[in-house]
Every structure is written in structure tokens, then in C-alpha cells.
Chains A and B, each alone.
Chain A
Amino acid sequence: MAIEVSDRAREWLHKQGGVATVRLSPRHGCCGGRADIAVAEARTPDAPKRYTRLEHDGVVLYIAPTLLDQDLTLDVEGFLGLRHLFVDGAPLSR
């Protein structure tokens, strides 16, 4: 597993409490069906025990087990109050 946290993301996460969760979020198709998309959020997960906990340059990361074998990159985008964390590198899954 290789997870990269950009300098911008690390700096931003430190201001937000230093914790990030990377998990799968389902998207439902209008004809039925579903695909899961990786999302990153600056918070502790609801059930931390279900995640793999990693420490990365002073940032605590909770990664969903199904995403552990991906080459993930955590970064931030947006501006002012709309700035948010995102994760790149994980394909859609099911």
C-alpha cells in the first residue's frame, strides 16, 4: 500500500484536527445497480475499529480495509469555506 498525503492536505488537516477518514461511498444508478466511490473526510469514522489506522506525518488516517491495496493520494481543493479533502487513485468498486 502506498498512500500519499500532499503538503497542502497535511497542512489543512492539521488545522481541522489532524484526522482523516478514507472510505467507500455508494452511488445508486437510476436503473438500479450501484458503484462505490472512494471519499475522504476530515473526521474520525463512526466505527474506528472497522478501519485501518495509520499515522502519516502527524496526521491520523483511517482507511477502509478494501482501499488498503490502492495507491491513494489525499489532497485538498476548493477555496475559502468551500475547501475540502479529496482522494484520488481508487477506481470505482462494488
Chain B
Amino acid sequence: MSTLQDSQSPSTSEGMGLFERFLSVWVALAIVIGVLLGQFAPAIPEALSRFEVAQVSIPVAILIWAMIFPMMAQIDFSAVLGVRRQPRGLIITTTVNWLIKPFTMFAIAWFFLTVVFQPLIPADLASQYLAGAILLGAAPCTAMVFVWSYLTRGDAAYTLVQVSLNDLIMLFAFAPIVVFLLDISNIQVPWDTVALSVVLYIVIPLTAGYLTRRTLIARHGSEWYDNVFMKRIGPVTPAGLILTLVLLFAFQGEVILEAPLHIVLIAVPLIVQTFLIFFIAYGWAKVWKVPHRVAAPGAMIGASNFFELAVAAAISLFGLQSGAALATVVGVLVEVPLMLALVRIANKTRHHFPEAEAPAEAKG
């Protein structure tokens, strides 16, 4: 049903540029370039893989920091102080993100990868793919959600608070959730390896981002920080992502060439999970009569993943050539088309939600 409210929502072309709208195409191109590089110039990835310190590949670490640091540098942790402003939305999204999503991701991925697709995927690879899915499920989106929120006319203040809250929770919850779910999947990963990946790819970029933000705002002011510094480093994230994927697929070439169908099979549970989580949060918000401007971004935050972190953790825990790393990349491949489908659903169902706040949501 097309309504007046639908037409008031920004169109995809207004909210997203050419790069992000066609991210799946660029990811597919990165896969092709990476595979070709691995097949025809294997000396390049081999040479890069030799730069290791304490089993951490330095080129990979640099690319991953390039992906994650700009997002961390734009987090305003003081926004967390606004948690009382939209309590229902925050309860729904926080519960769905941290108490439901990791476990449904595990259950759905386990069911598809080790039961339904058992004849098509060898058991050891299925375990690796399951590990990748677990890593995707354990970290909610921290940056792209601002774009999804914009496309659904979401509440800016709520989105800011929820993202800051998730970033803080992620510091403490990501590692225990991942270790617990990998453990019950019989995938052994030493605690110290997980701790190292959390320190390398969450704590260090988060601390560096926070210190950079504080220092540069104190020195140059917040407008300079937003309009000059962030404008320069913001686009580094997608560039780092694409380069990481090229490098990753330079190592994954054999797997892709031998079993291209696996990409489709991995995508199935990820797609099911994305829709399920969206509808759990969105349905819960409907029952609690949460305004659409909170319900829509709240459901999207849960549905989308912090796939840079998942890719980084998969590489760090299982290696560039692992099935886990491949599974996290499939997450990147399907993310934008899936989220745009959810944006359409949210905009088409706007009329089912109250526009105004319920009394309990009054400003505090």
C-alpha cells in the first residue's frame, strides 16, 4: 500500500550514493579481482602474508584498522547519557541485539549449514561457516544504521543513543558470546586468541577513536572535526573493506573455484536471520506501541551486522583462508540489498505504528 507517509520518506538515491547502493557489485568485483590475483599472481598475497608479528598479519591488521577506526572516531559516547529518553525502544533493541540475535543466528546457521545442507557441505567446512555466522550474529551494526534510520525517517537522537550503547556493550559482551557459542558448536578457540582479537579490533580502534576525537575537538573544534577530519577519513572505511576483501579472496581462490555454490548456501541462513530479527524487534515495538521513528531504526540496528568486526575476528581467529572468513564476507555481500528490502517494508508499514510518543516515553 502506498501512502502519503511513504512518499515522505527519502528515496534510496537520496540517502545513498552510487558506491553504497551497489556495494554487492563492488564486493563481487573484489571477489573476482582477489581470486584472479591469487591464481595469476600468487607471489603478491604470499609476500604480504609473511609480514607477521605474534601471528598477526600486519597488512591485514592495517586494512582492518582502516575499516574500523573511522567508525570508532565518530562515536559520541556522551550520547549514552540519553538512555532515559526512549526507554521502550532501547529495551527492545538492546534485548534483541544481545539476548536474542546471537542465539538465533547460531540456531539458524547450525540448522541450515549442518542439517539441511549436510549433503552439500563437508562437515569441517560447515563448522567453519557456522563460526563465521556466529561472529556476524554477535556484533550489531554501529555506523550504517544512521543511513537506514535516515531512509525510514528514524529518530536521530534515539539512533545515536542506541548505537553508543551498543558500542559500549560490545566491548564486554562480544568475546563471551562468541566463545560460548563456538564452544557449544565444538569449535575450539583459545580464550587468549579471542581476547587478542577483541583488543586488536575493538579496544585499540575504540580507544584510538575516542582519544583522536577528544584531542582534535579540543584543538580544532567540533565543526572542524566533523566537516574536515571526518569528511576525509569517513570514506576510508569502505575503501579498507574492499581492499581487505581483495586480499582475503586472493587466499580463498581455491575454495571459491571449487565450490562457488557455498556462497549461496551460506547466504541462506544469513538472509533468514536478518528477516527474523527485524520482525521480532519490529513486532515487539508494534505491541508496545513504540512510535515508528523509533521502531524502524531499532529493528534495523538489530537486523544489520558490524561485519567489519566479524571479518576481522574471523581472520584473526581462523585465518584468511578459513571458511569462517568466507562466511563473514557473504554477510557483506548480502547486507545492503537485504537492508534496503527492510527499509521498504518499514516505510510501507509506517501506518501501523503511532506517530507520536506514548506518555511513558516523555522526555526526561
A37 lies within 8 A of B156 (CB): yes
**A86-B157 CB under 8 A given contacts A30-B237, A33-B144:** yes
- Cβ-defined partner of A31 (8 Å) among B23, B81, B150, B364: B23
A92 lies within 8 A of B19 (CB): no
Binds B, one of A12-20, A53-61, A74-82: A74-82
A92 lies within 8 A of B234 (CB): no
Interface of A is mostly: strand
Number of interface residues of A (CB under 8 A): 33
- Cβ-defined partner of A32 (8 Å) among B20, B154, B155, B159: B20
Residue of A nearest to B224 (CB): A46
Chain A, range 7-35, C-beta contacts under 8 Å to B: 23, 25-35
Is A90 an interface residue when CB atoms closer than 8 A count as contact? Answer: yes
Complex contacts, B84 vs chain A, CB 8 Å:
77
Is B221 an interface residue when CB atoms closer than 8 A count as contact? Answer: yes
Complex contacts, B363 vs chain A, CB 8 Å:
73, 75, 88
Is B167 an interface residue when CB atoms closer than 8 A count as contact? Answer: no
Complex contacts, A30 vs chain B, CB 8 Å:
67, 71, 141-144, 237-238, 241, 306-308
Among B85, B146, B293: residue with most chain A CB under 10 A: B146
Give the distance to chain A from B298, nearest Cβ to Cβ, in Å: 14
Complex contacts, A88 vs chain B, CB 8 Å:
85, 157, 363
Complex contacts, B222 vs chain A, CB 8 Å:
25, 39, 41
Bound-state CA distance A23–B160 (Å) is 15
Complex contacts, B150 vs chain A, CB 8 Å:
35, 91-94
Bound-state CA distance A64–B154 (Å) is 20
Per-residue CB contact flags for chain B residues 170-200 toward chain A (1 = under 8 Å, else 0) read: 0000000000000000000000000000000
Number of interface residues of B (CB under 8 A): 55
Complex contacts, B238 vs chain A, CB 8 Å:
30-32
**A28-B70 CB under 8 A given contacts A77-B84, A94-B14:** yes
- Cβ-defined partner of A46 (8 Å) among B82, B223, B308: B223
Complex contacts, B221 vs chain A, CB 8 Å:
46
B335 lies within 8 A of A31 (CB): yes
Bound-state CA distance A84–B67 (Å) is 30
Bound-state CA distance A86–B164 (Å) is 15
Bound-state CA distance A90–B95 (Å) is 26
Is B336 an interface residue when CB atoms closer than 8 A count as contact? Answer: yes
Pairs A-B, 6 closest by C-beta atoms: A28-B234, A32-B20, A35-B150, A78-B81, A92-B150, A27-B146
Instruction: Enumerate chain A interface residues (CB-CB to B < 8 A).
Output: 23, 25-35, 37-39, 41, 45-46, 73, 75, 77-79, 82, 84, 86-88, 90-94
14 residue pairs of the A-B complex, CB under 8 angstroms, read A23-B223, A28-B74, A29-B144, A29-B147, A31-B147, A31-B238, A31-B241, A32-B23, A32-B235, A33-B19, A77-B84, A92-B156, A92-B159, A93-B150
Interface contacts beyond A94-B15, A94-B150: sample of 6 additional A-B pairs, CB < 8 Å, sorted by A: A28-B74, A28-B235, A34-B234, A37-B160, A84-B78, A92-B146
